[in-house]
Amino acid sequence: MGLFILRRGGVAPDGGPLLARIEGELYLLVFSDRARADAARAVLGLPEAAPFYVCPANRDELLRELRDAGAARFLTDYDPASSTFAAAGVV
């Protein structure tokens, strides 16, 4: 918690948390700060996506959305310009 994600309006699959499909697996993109989230949004060309702060008050709802979408993994600080990330893990 205490991380940012990118969200699009509406519900999955066209809205909700921004997910990436990698080798058949769905990953949530999480960022350690808003600046990194904004940078990824710009490089990905997703002006409709907004940075969203994940905190205890919204954590359970986010986890439900991820389960419903079939996402079970995450990438931290994904940089689309270099296709690198700081860490990966299981939600």
Using pLDDT thresholds of 50, 70 and 90, give the confidence band for residue 89.
very high
Residue 74 DSSP code: E
Instruction: Name the domain count of the chain.
Output: 1
Question: H or E stretch including 1?
Answer: none
What CATH number corresponds to the domain at position 69?
3.40.1350
Judge if pTM exceeds 0.85.
yes
Using pLDDT thresholds of 50, 70 and 90, give the confidence band for residue 10.
confident
Which residue, 24, 34, 25, 20, is CA-closest to 85? 20
- Residue the block writes with tokens 């940012």: 4
pLDDT value of position 1: 61
Residue pair 5/29 in contact (Cβ under 8 Å)? The answer is: yes
Q: Which domain holds residue 81?
A: 3-90
